[in-house]
Amino acid sequence: MAEQASPAAAIGLGKQAEWVRKTLLLNVLTLSSIVIGSFFLALMYLPIVDSHWVYKLIFVALIACCVVSFVLNRAGRVGLAAVLFTCSLTLAIFGVILFGVFEAAVVGWVVYYFLVPVLVAGMVVGARATFSFATLDALLIAVVTLAARRVLPYDPIYWSDDVLGVVIPAGVLCYVMAIVAWLYARSLDEALRQMAEQSQQLSAANEEIHAFSRSLEEKVAQRTRELRNFVSMVAHDLRNPLTVIRGIADLLLEEQAGDVDQRRNRHISMLATNVEHMLDLTDDLLEMSHLSAGNVEFDMEALPIQMVVEEVCAGFEARLAAKRLGLKVEVSPDLAPVWADHLRLTQVLNNLVANAYHYTPAGAIFVRARQVDSLVEVSVSDTGIGISAEDQKHLFQQFFRGEHEVVRKTKGAGLGLAISQAIVEAHGGQIWVESEVGQGSTFHFTVSVAPNPPPA
């Protein structure tokens, strides 16, 4: 039974995907910061660059914090690593700007660097954390502003344009970015909720489909069993009276003497022939029913395939001679014995040779056998009418008969090849056909070589 996905499960999957995204993004940010920080730190040590030791200390501390964050992130402590990285980035920016105020007595657009930690917090910490970092950055901007007020000479125009005109928009933008991150998180939660609802609807629909499919399979199986039982019952019930009728017809034929009442004699012969045909049909129906139900037991033994071929071909010699058809057998006497049921294997080969006999108006029939690895492949070829590509698709289906004129004139129920396929596959082999219209047909089937020594 298919399990329905709950909304909590769907949201859980969404959160897991978000956790993976944050982990990967934090790896990129920490590694990038380590590389960039190391590059600027190396520049500070060049003779042509005059940088204060405070800047070097700030960059060393930032690189160390980034390394620790990367290690924590790799260890699965994503939240702690994200907070540490964002805090270290915030404090590094604050240290650089504050020391610039005291050293160079300048406050300018560098204050906007405080927006970077807010953005990073929204990406790797969380939507609510952006408000905390926005407040922290606003406080740090206020500290920078107070420091500038104490260090810088007071000039109303400079103070309003170059100081307040920068720090106030920077503080406001920190909260604007926090609001944007919060709205993004809200939209993500809504998308997860909708995904959960759709997942639940799809799961319910999938369960209904499975239930309908199971019900349909049960009904089909039940109808198949009923049909198989019906066919078996009808075939069995038909066979008994037909056997009696055939016996009576044989007795009547034996009682006729000379040419007395030739018309009645001919009618009795027709009756006997048709009864024989109906008996063959009922036998095929019973055979197919038992094979489909798996009720047939096979008497397996090591069997020389040459013996089976000779037995079957001997039974067709008279009919082939009467129809002026040639017969050629190519079976090596050294061929390994096969592991098969004698009666059933004879039945398969008899069906194939009978089909070749019926559907070959002139020419010859060829029976061959060869060993292929651990299998013996037997083939029956003819020079008959051939089989169309469309008919080959349905050839081994029960009750199928081709549309060719010769096929329609030949008596049969279309069960011989289906029975042959069931027997071959029960032996663990395969059966197939190669044919072209007007070029004859070749039926192949395989059977396993007998093990040595054979099983008990």
Burial class (CB in 10 A: 0-12, 13-18, 19+), 371: middle
Cα–Cα separations (whole angstroms), residue 394 to 198, 220, 259, 349, 432: 43, 21, 48, 20, 12
Instruction: Determine the average pLDDT of the residues in 42-60.
Output: 82
Cis, bond preceding 453 (omega within 30 deg of 0): yes
Instruction: Determine the average pLDDT of the residues in 299-307.
Output: 90
Per-residue confidence band for 446, with pLDDT thresholds at 50, 70 and 90: very high
Write down the mean pLDDT value for the chain: 78
Per-residue confidence band for 4, with pLDDT thresholds at 50, 70 and 90: very low
User: Which of the residue ranges 40-54, 202-216, 325-339 has the most confident prediction, judged by mean pLDDT?
Assistant: 325-339
Q: In whole angstroms, give the CA distance from residue 61 to residue 224.
A: 79
pLDDT in tens, 394-436: 888 877 776 667 766 666 666 778 888 888 998 899 999 999 8
pLDDT in tens, 349-362: 998 999 899 889 88
Token pair recorded at residue 391: 């008919």
pLDDT in tens, 174-223: 788 788 877 776 776 677 677 777 877 888 888 888 888 888 888 777 76
Q: In whole angstroms, give the CA distance from residue 363 to residue 148.
A: 113
- Tell me if 144 sits within 8 A of 102, measured CB to CB: no
Helix axis angle, 165-255 relative to 7-44, nearest 10°? 130
Indicate the pTM of the whole model.
0.45
Is the model's pLDDT at 347 over the cut of 80? Answer: yes
Instruction: Determine the average pLDDT of the residues in 310-314.
Output: 92
Q: Which of 352, 359, 355, 305 is nearest to 330 (CA)?
A: 305
- Tell me if 333 sits within 8 A of 306, measured CB to CB: yes
Amino acid (1-letter code) at residue 104: A
- Between 312 and 106, the more confident residue is 312
Domains and CATH numbers, the chain: 1-296 (no CATH), 300-448 (3.30.565.10)
Per-residue confidence band for 104, with pLDDT thresholds at 50, 70 and 90: low
Instruction: Determine the average pLDDT of the residues in 96-114.
Output: 74
Is the model's pLDDT at 377 over the cut of 90? Answer: yes
